[in-house]
Amino acid sequence: MIETRLIVDANNHLGEGPLWDVKEQRLYWIDSTAAEISSCRADGSDIRRYFVPRHIGSMALREGGGAVVSLANGLHFYDFDTQTVKFIADPESDDPETRFNDGKVDRRGRFIAGTMAYDFDRYDADRGQRPNRSGALYRLDTNGSVTRLDGGISCSNGPCWSPDNRTFYFTDSYDRQMYAYDYDIETGAVANRRVFASARDLAGTFDGATVDAEGYLWSALVFGGRILRFAPDGKLDRVVEFPVRNLTSVMFGGPDLDILFVTTMGRPMWGIPQKERDKGGLFAITGLGVQGLPEPRFAG
């Protein structure tokens, strides 16, 4: 039996990036526009909060301790004890209209993160307006070098990989399209971008995503109040209704990797009202009958 529970009444402005760490047996997540990182146990207990100096798009834990974080002003290493950052690089330092957003680590320990247009609050799909497309997708290698993988992006979201490492999935939320790339796990290169799934006939758009042990992709349908599971061929396999309309991202975790953790936003966006009492909370879904895969740490 599927059960959805609020486990942390976080009241996040823009909760994002749930990350289950197998080593610590803890869940991390961020409040992007409040510039905060939080963590808890699988049941929502032992909550810890940390602060970063700028808007945060994503984070990943490091093998050697601490984290790598994508902030509005670039990529940084983060020390949880001192709550301080060490600058790595900002490939878009000359463009004040973009900031880093979603990111994850591949199974060779590289951090892949994309940027987004900062004018998202002015976006109005019904009037045909759209933000600029100056965002891009980047790879941070373990030696600190940064490589641009793709461009022409409005809002980077949902990076994740197939279990065999051959396919990289990525979403431009403003386009309401999810893409698949051929992925070279040895080099971190991407090629052959194609549409994997579309949300253009659905309420809402794709946001954060993860891939389960069977190779099926789970996506949070932000503004749509549902979680969608897609087969490796892109066919819609399953729909899970969700009690909060503005869910943002998903990640499997827990001792058996069979709990789907879900983040949500608590502030309005694009004029879409949010009336649910639990908006901005952290949720856990059990009984799905599916397990996830361990998330790797950044190896640099």
Catalytic residues, which ones? 207
For residues 21 and 26, give the distance between their C-alpha atoms in angstroms, rounded to a whole number.
6
Asked whether 154 and 163 are in contact (CB, 8 A), the reply is no
Q: What is the phi/psi pair of residue 295, to 5°? A: -85, 130
Size (the chain), residues: 300
CB-CB contact of 101 with 92 (8 Å) = no
In 3-state terms, the chain is what percent helix, strand and coil (to 5)?
A: 0, 55, 45
Apex CA 174: angle with CA 114 and CA 37, to 5°? 45
Which among 236, 222, 287, 298 has a CA at the least distance from the CA of 16?
222
Compute the C-alpha angle 51/137/171, nearest 5°.
90
Q: What angle do CA 140, 142, 144 make, to 5 degrees?
A: 60
CA distance 212 to 276: 29
Reduced to 3 states (helix: H, G, I; strand: E, B; else coil), residue 127 is helix
**Token reading at 36:** 């905060």
Q: Please, what's the b/e burial string for 134-157 (b: 16 or more CB within 10 A of its CB; e: otherwise)?
A: bbbbbbbbeeeebeebbeebbbbb
